[in-house]
Amino acid sequence: MPTDPVPELLSRATELLEEQFAALPAFDSAANPAAMARVLEGVARRLGDNYPYFHPLYAGQMLKPPHPLARAAYALAMTINPNNHARDGGRASSEMEIEAVREIAAIFGWADFLGHLNSSGTLANLEALWVAGQLAPARRIVGSEQAHYTHQRISAVLKLEYAPIAADRRGRMSMEALEDELRKGDVGTVVVTLGTTAIGAVDPLDEILALRSRYGFRVHVDAAYGGYFRLISEALDEPARRAFAVIGQADSIVIDPHKHGLQPYGCGCVLFRDPTVGRFYKHDSPYTYFTSRQLHLGEISLECSRAGASAVALWATQKLLPPVPGGEFALGLARGRAAAMELDRRLREDKSGRFQALAGGGPELDIVVWKAKAETPQQSSALAQKIFAACTLRDLHLALVELPLRWFQPVAGFESANGAGTVTCLRSVLMKPEHEAWLDAIWERLTAASAEVLETG
């Protein structure tokens, strides 16, 4: 593991925090340090049964380690354990949340908006679709078949009909299929995904907004994974660049600071372009909201108790690494994307003939997917599973994903029924800035594991 600056940083900061409460009379704690030490040692041993998510050789799922400052600020805040439901429970942390969310909204060009943190992107998307349902009751919600599965589940919870829209061979929502649904006249909200979970595909938001002017629907952007790429959108390929350029025209946006934002779980964020949607949250609470005439965050959130420590960690991280174009934070995103582009290039140019990348071009963000070449989809899927396991034995941790066969260039004797069906593929999310420097090590382990699998069968 890397050298950890958190204990030393936290020690001094804890002293400063304790000084601010030094006037209070002392009291005995019920804690038993010796017993706690024994239990904590057991915790450390149990936690060893994990993949090394913090290491650059972990290049599998969307698991990005929180910044050391975020961990330190979170732990420091837990000394107080603030609750950002009401200012009674978290005066300082509520202000810090408001300031931090304002900086996130600025990424999308919003200065006048309504927004707050959530415990996850799922809860953030639920709030966005709940508001959509309040504004367009009984009207359908549609989203790409590659949208996160929670949208269909959330819609069911909200008792709103949901319909999936076909995706093209790049994993983006098909405009022809979308317009077929819009012509039915009962679509209230279109969920647009800027960065799908499977391959990082970016739906054509610019084209969808053009349809909005004709058919009159709300646009909700699920940018839980991809939202921060707005900071480096000029470095993206043209279709993704156009989509991110107009993200500020959406009606609502979800972004997850606990993905690319260097935050601990759980820290999601929902934003509404129209601040007046706050009226839907209005409720009576005879035992809350008395200590201040200022906005209490529980008045604009479906969640009640929420960890103020999440807001403190996010605020601190953004003070160190402001989320602005050209800043150190944005450069970290660019380094991860550069690693993804380089891995995709090597897969496409590999002379061994072992790999097959997606048809139509490289990754739109920082997710790379590829399949093993074989005579049948079943053999390719089996090889992917074996390569995945062989990489793990070399301390390289990848992921697996099931993708449509039609997303790959036809190979003689491989596809059946015009590319119908799916194949298990290897998948890598290169979201750590360190992945760029570790790309050679990743490639060495991947090619060695693949060669071994093919030689041994």
Q: What is the C-alpha separation between 15 and 31, in angstroms, rounded?
A: 19
CATH number of 329-456: 3.90.1150.10
Pairing of strands 218-222, 252-255: parallel
Q: For 64-118, what is each residue's pLDDT tens digit?
A: 999 999 999 999 999 999 998 888 888 999 999 999 999 999 999 999 999 999 9
| pLDDT tops 50 at residue 215 | yes
Structure token pair of residue 136: 């367009």
| pLDDT tops 80 at residue 230 | yes
The identity of residue 144, as a single letter, is: S
Tell me the pTM: 0.94
**Distance between alpha carbon 211 and the CA centroid of its chain, in Å?**
27
| pLDDT tops 60 at residue 421 | yes
CB 140 within 8 A of CB 163: yes
Q: Identify the H or E element spanning 252.
A: strand 252-255
Q: What is the C-alpha separation between 424 and 405, in angstroms, rounded?
A: 9
Kindly tell me the sign of the dihedral angle through the C-alpha atoms of 127, 128, 134, 137. Answer: negative
- What secondary structure letter does DSSP report for 190? E
pLDDT confidence bin for 415, thresholds 50/70/90 = very low
- What secondary structure letter does DSSP report for 433? G
| pLDDT tops 60 at residue 391 | yes
Nearest by Cα to 303 from 318, 319, 283, 286:
283
Domain 91-320 has CATH 3.40.640.10: yes
Counting residues of the chain whose pLDDT is more than 90, the rounded percentage is: 82
> What mean pLDDT is predicted for residues 34-38?
94
| pLDDT tops 70 at residue 287 | no
The reply to whether omega before 298 is within 30° of 0 (cis) is no
| pLDDT tops 90 at residue 25 | yes
| pLDDT tops 60 at residue 292 | no
| pLDDT tops 50 at residue 448 | yes
Distant-in-sequence, close-in-space partners of 414: CB < 8 Å, separation ≥ 6: 374, 375, 376, 377, 380, 405
Q: What is the C-alpha separation between 299 and 296, in angstroms, rounded?
A: 6
Counting residues of the chain whose pLDDT is more than 70, the rounded percentage is: 95
Q: What is the C-alpha separation between 68 and 39, in angstroms, rounded?
A: 24
Residue ranges of domains in the chain:
91-320, 329-456
pLDDT confidence bin for 326, thresholds 50/70/90 = very high
Three-state DSSP string of 373-386: CCCCHHHHHHHHHH
> What mean pLDDT is predicted for residues 430-451?
98
Q: What is the C-alpha separation between 190 and 161, in angstroms, rounded?
A: 12
